[in-house]
Amino acid sequence: MPNIFHLPMHVQREVHGLAIVVRAAGELDQETVHALRLELRTAVAMATPPFPVVVDLTGLTFFGSAGLNELVRQQRRAGATGIPLRIAAAHRAVLRPVTASGLDQVLELYPDVEQALTAGRSVRPTG
């Protein structure tokens, strides 16, 4: 008997200093994209420019076209307010559809959350 309580995707939002991280795990498709949309809207509303909203997709096992469309939509929305939207993903389930669609030329991609959070920070030499 199938588990009727199984959720195909889990999304959570975390505050990291002045940056916001939205983590998604499971399957992102037309049926589950609404949960990501709500968290990203909230994250963009909470964010303080120029600090980023980082979307951590490292926990996804499936990434469909609805997810691609939502990332582009939210990138435009965040960019209009001066907030960078950065994507953390380093595995085939996410990178293959992103590169196949050419969105690797549009989205800010990073291999992990830490690099996405620290990108663009000026590094002062010591000494």
Domains and CATH numbers, the chain: 36-118 (3.30.750.24)
* Whether residue 125 has pLDDT greater than 60: no
- Tokens representing 65 are 């076209």
pLDDT at 7: 60
In this prediction, residue 120 has a pLDDT band, given cuts at 50, 70 and 90, of: confident
Average confidence score pLDDT of the chain: 91
Ramachandran sector of residue 29 (left: φ over 0; alpha: ψ -120 to 50; beta: rest):
beta
- Tokens representing 4 are 């009727």
* Helix residue ranges, H only, the chain: 33-46, 65-79, 92-100, 113-118
* Whether residue 30 has pLDDT greater than 90: yes
pLDDT tens string 14-26 = 999 999 999 999 9
- Tokens representing 104 are 């690797």
pLDDT tens string 87-118 = 999 999 999 999 999 999 999 999 999 999 99
